[in-house]
Structure 1
Protein backbone atom coordinates (compact mmCIF):
# COMPACT_ATOMS: atom_id res chain seq x y z
CA UNK A 1 0.00 0.00 0.00
CA UNK A 2 1.17 3.51 -0.81
CA UNK A 3 0.29 6.92 0.53
CA UNK A 4 -1.61 9.41 -1.61
CA UNK A 5 -0.15 12.89 -1.22
CA UNK A 6 -1.68 14.56 -4.29
CA UNK A 7 -4.18 13.91 -7.05
CA UNK A 8 -7.33 11.85 -7.11
CA UNK A 9 -8.10 8.78 -5.03
CA UNK A 10 -10.76 6.40 -6.37
CA UNK A 11 -12.68 3.92 -4.26
CA UNK A 12 -14.38 0.70 -5.34
CA UNK A 13 -16.78 -1.02 -2.95
CA UNK A 14 -17.84 -4.64 -3.19
CA UNK A 15 -19.98 -6.86 -0.98
CA UNK A 16 -18.10 -9.65 0.81
CA UNK A 17 -21.16 -11.08 2.61
CA UNK A 18 -24.84 -10.14 2.32
CA UNK A 19 -26.90 -11.90 4.95
CA UNK A 20 -30.29 -11.45 6.60
CA UNK A 21 -28.85 -9.80 9.72
CA UNK A 22 -25.35 -8.59 8.71
CA UNK A 23 -23.53 -7.23 5.68
CA UNK A 24 -19.76 -7.03 5.14
CA UNK A 25 -18.37 -4.64 2.53
CA UNK A 26 -14.78 -4.14 1.31
CA UNK A 27 -13.54 -0.76 0.07
CA UNK A 28 -10.40 -0.61 -2.11
CA UNK A 29 -8.85 2.84 -2.64
CA UNK A 30 -6.35 3.52 -5.45
CA UNK A 31 -4.36 6.58 -6.48
CA UNK A 32 -4.24 8.05 -10.00
CA UNK A 33 -1.53 5.55 -11.03
CA UNK A 34 -3.79 2.64 -10.04
CA UNK A 35 -1.66 1.72 -7.02
CA UNK A 36 -3.52 0.57 -3.89
CA UNK A 37 -3.54 3.14 -1.09
CA UNK A 38 -6.04 1.65 1.38
CA UNK A 39 -8.10 -1.50 1.94
CA UNK A 40 -10.94 -1.26 4.43
CA UNK A 41 -13.85 -3.44 5.56
CA UNK A 42 -17.06 -2.47 7.26
CA UNK A 43 -19.57 -4.73 8.99
CA UNK A 44 -23.15 -3.47 9.27
CA UNK A 45 -26.19 -4.79 11.11
CA UNK A 46 -29.44 -5.02 9.15
CA UNK A 47 -32.29 -3.72 11.31
CA UNK A 48 -36.01 -4.10 10.80
CA UNK A 49 -37.89 -0.90 9.93
CA UNK A 50 -39.59 0.86 12.85
Structure 2
Protein backbone atom coordinates (compact mmCIF):
# COMPACT_ATOMS: atom_id res chain seq x y z
CA UNK A 1 0.00 0.00 0.00
CA UNK A 2 1.02 3.62 -0.41
CA UNK A 3 0.50 6.48 1.99
CA UNK A 4 -1.75 9.43 1.24
CA UNK A 5 -1.75 12.55 3.37
CA UNK A 6 -4.97 14.58 3.38
CA UNK A 7 -6.25 17.56 5.32
CA UNK A 8 -9.78 17.64 6.73
CA UNK A 9 -11.73 20.32 8.61
CA UNK A 10 -11.89 20.02 12.41
CA UNK A 11 -15.59 18.92 12.45
CA UNK A 12 -14.81 15.99 10.14
CA UNK A 13 -11.77 15.06 12.25
CA UNK A 14 -14.03 15.02 15.32
CA UNK A 15 -16.40 12.64 13.54
CA UNK A 16 -13.48 10.39 12.58
CA UNK A 17 -12.36 10.40 16.22
CA UNK A 18 -15.86 9.29 17.24
CA UNK A 19 -15.64 6.40 14.76
CA UNK A 20 -12.29 5.44 16.29
CA UNK A 21 -13.93 5.08 19.70
CA UNK A 22 -16.22 2.54 18.08
CA UNK A 23 -13.28 0.57 16.69
CA UNK A 24 -13.10 1.95 13.13
CA UNK A 25 -9.87 3.64 12.11
CA UNK A 26 -9.90 6.76 9.94
CA UNK A 27 -7.76 4.94 7.38
CA UNK A 28 -10.09 1.97 7.28
CA UNK A 29 -13.16 4.17 6.95
CA UNK A 30 -11.69 6.30 4.16
CA UNK A 31 -10.37 3.19 2.36
CA UNK A 32 -13.87 1.69 2.51
CA UNK A 33 -15.44 4.87 1.08
CA UNK A 34 -12.92 4.98 -1.77
CA UNK A 35 -13.39 1.29 -2.60
CA UNK A 36 -17.18 1.72 -2.71
CA UNK A 37 -16.91 4.86 -4.83
CA UNK A 38 -14.62 3.29 -7.41
CA UNK A 39 -16.58 0.05 -7.47
CA UNK A 40 -19.65 1.97 -8.68
CA UNK A 41 -17.90 4.69 -10.71
CA UNK A 42 -17.96 4.30 -14.50
CA UNK A 43 -14.61 3.40 -16.02
CA UNK A 44 -13.36 6.12 -18.36
CA UNK A 45 -10.22 6.42 -20.45
CA UNK A 46 -7.36 8.65 -19.42
CA UNK A 47 -7.29 12.16 -20.80
CA UNK A 48 -4.08 13.78 -21.84
CA UNK A 49 -1.21 12.56 -23.91
TM-score bucket of the superposed structures, by smaller chain: under 0.3
TM-score calculated relative to the size of structure 2: 0.20
TM-score calculated relative to the size of structure 1: 0.20
Work out which structure has the larger RCO, using CA pairs closer than 8 Å and 6 or more positions apart in sequence: 1
Structure whose residues are more often strand by fraction:
1
Structure whose residues are more often helix by fraction:
2
